[in-house]
C-alpha cells in the first residue's frame, strides 16, 4: 500500500456545492489512499446559537466548557462526520467515519484551564485508520480526542488542523493538504504566497500577520513539515482544487 494522502477539510467549506468529495472519491478509485480529517466549527456555532450557548475563542481555538462539549461532540463526530461519509460514498468511493476517540486514535492532555475541555495531542495510535485503508475504505476522522482517566476516557475537542498534522506524521503521509476558504497564506501586503519557509512562517506568526484561525493551521503545517511531511494550503472553493493542488495555494517547506 502506498503512503497515504491526508486531506483536512475546513468547516467553512463544508456543505458548499463544490467538487471536494468527488475529488476524494476519484483519488480513492485511482489508488491514492486518502485520509480525510475535519472539524465543523461553523456548524457547531450554528447549533450553539440555536441553544443560546455563547461561542468564545482564544488564539483561534474554541473555549469548550461543560455546556459546549456535548454539542461539539454531537456535531463533529455525528452530524458533520456522517454528512461527509455519505457524500464520499455517493461520489463512488467507500468511506467510514471515526473520531479520535474511536480505537483510541488520538490520545490527548488538557491544553489549558482557560480552554476547558480542549485537548492537546500527545500520541496518535493509527491502527483503526490503517485497518480501514487496508480494506480500501476512506477513513473520515473528526476532531474529537480523549484524555485517559481512571473511569471512562474524557472526550475533548481538538483543533482539526492540529489533528491533521499529527495524523499525517503518524501514518507517514506523502502529503498533507489543507482545504480552506482562502487562496493560501498571505504576506504583510496581502499577497498570496506560493511557498513559505519555516523561518518566514514563524516570522509572520510572531509579527501578527498570521492571526485567528490561520494560527493553528500554520502551526500544524510547520509541525508536519518538520517531521518530513510535505504540506500545502489550498482554496477548497475552487473546482477540482484537490486534483490540481500542485499548482495552487501555499506550500510550506521544513527548516533546512
pLDDT at residue 204, as a whole number: 85
Among the listed residues 102, 119, 161, 236, the single catalytic one is 161
Catalytic residue list contains 41: yes
- SS3 (DSSP) at 66: coil
The set of cell numbers assigned to 170 is 503518524
Catalytic residue list contains 119: no
Q: What is the pLDDT along the chain (256 residues), one digit of tens a residue?
A: 678 999 998 755 554 446 889 889 998 988 888 999 998 888 999 999 999 999 998 877 899 999 999 999 999 999 999 999 999 999 999 999 999 999 999 999 999 999 999 999 999 999 999 999 999 999 999 999 999 988 899 999 998 988 998 999 899 998 898 887 766 677 777 777 777 778 888 888 888 888 776 777 788 788 888 878 888 888 777 777 777 666 667 788 765 5
pLDDT at residue 240, as a whole number: 73
Q: Looking at the chain, which runs of residues are DSSP E strands? A: 5-9, 34-38, 57-58, 61-62, 95-99, 106-110, 119-124, 138-142, 144-147, 154-157, 175-180, 195-196, 231-235, 250-252
Give the other-Cβ count within 10 Å of 30's Cβ: 9
Catalytic residue list contains 217: yes
Domain boundaries, the chain: 5-252
- The neighbouring-strand residues paired with 138 are 95
* Residue for grid cell 480529517: 37
* The Cα angle at residue 110 between residues 104 and 113, in degrees rounded to 5: 160
From the options 1.10.246.90, 3.40.50.300, 3.40.630.30, 3.40.1160.10, give the CATH code of 5-252: 3.40.1160.10
Do residues 167 and 129 lie in contact, with contact meaning Cβ atoms separated by under 8 Å? yes
Among the listed residues 11, 119, 145, 249, the single catalytic one is 11
pLDDT at residue 15, as a whole number: 46
pLDDT at residue 11, as a whole number: 58
Among the listed residues 10, 39, 40, 41, the single catalytic one is 41
pLDDT at residue 91, as a whole number: 93
Burial class (CB in 10 A: 0-12, 13-18, 19+), 5: buried
Name the strand (E) or helix (H) holding 102: none
Q: What Å distances lie between residue 10 and 96, 104, 108, 177, CA to CA?
A: 18, 23, 22, 11
pLDDT at residue 104, as a whole number: 96
Instruction: Report the chain's terminal Cα–Cα distance, integer Å.
Output: 30
Do residues 182 and 175 lie in contact, with contact meaning Cβ atoms separated by under 8 Å? no
Quick one: how far is CA 71 from the chain centroid?
19
Amino acid at each position: 500500500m502506498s503512503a497515504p494522502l491526508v486531506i483536512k477539510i475546513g468547516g467553512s467549506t463544508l456543505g458548499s456545492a463544490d467538487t471536494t468529495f468527488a475529488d476524494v472519491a476519484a483519488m480513492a478509485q485511482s489508488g491514492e489512499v486518502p485520509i480525510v480529517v475535519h472539524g465543523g466549527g461553523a456548524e457547531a456555532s450554528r447549533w450553539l446559537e440555536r441553544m443560546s450557548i455563547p461561542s468564545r475563542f482564544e488564539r483561534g481555538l474554541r473555549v469548550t466548557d461543560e455546556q459546549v462539549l456535548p454539542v461539539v461532540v454531537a456535531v463533529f463526530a455525528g452530524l458533520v462526520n456522517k454528512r461527509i461519509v455519505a457524500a464520499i460514498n455517493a461520489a463512488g468511493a467507500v468511506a467510514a467515519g471515526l473520531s479520535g476517540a474511536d480505537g483510541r486514535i488520538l490520545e490527548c492532555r488538557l491544553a489549558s484551564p482557560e480552554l476547558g475541555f480542549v485537548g492537546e495531542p500527545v500520541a496518535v495510535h493509527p491502527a483503526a485508520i490503517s485497518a480501514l485503508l487496508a480494506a480500501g475504505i476512506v477513513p473520515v476522522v473528526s476532531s474529537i480526542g480523549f484524555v485517559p482517566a481512571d473511569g471512562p476516557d474524557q472526550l475533548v475537542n481538538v483543533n482539526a488542523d492540529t489533528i491533521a498534522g499529527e495524523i499525517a506524521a503518524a501514518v507517514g503521509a506523502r502529503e498533507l493538504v489543507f482545504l480552506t476558504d482562502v487562496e493560501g497564506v498571505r504576506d504583510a501586503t496581502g499577497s498570496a504566497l506560493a511557498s513559505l519557509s519555516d523561518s518566514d512562517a514563524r516570522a509572520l506568526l510572531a509579527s501578527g500577520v498570521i492571526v485567528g484561525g490561520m494560527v493553528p493551521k500554520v502551526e500544524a503545517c510547520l509541525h508536519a513539515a518538520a517531521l518530513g511531511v510535505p504540506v500545502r494550503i489550498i482554496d477548497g472553493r475552487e473546482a477540482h482544487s484537490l486534483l490540481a493542488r500542485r499548482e495552487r495555494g501555499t506550500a510550506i517547506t521544513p527548516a533546512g
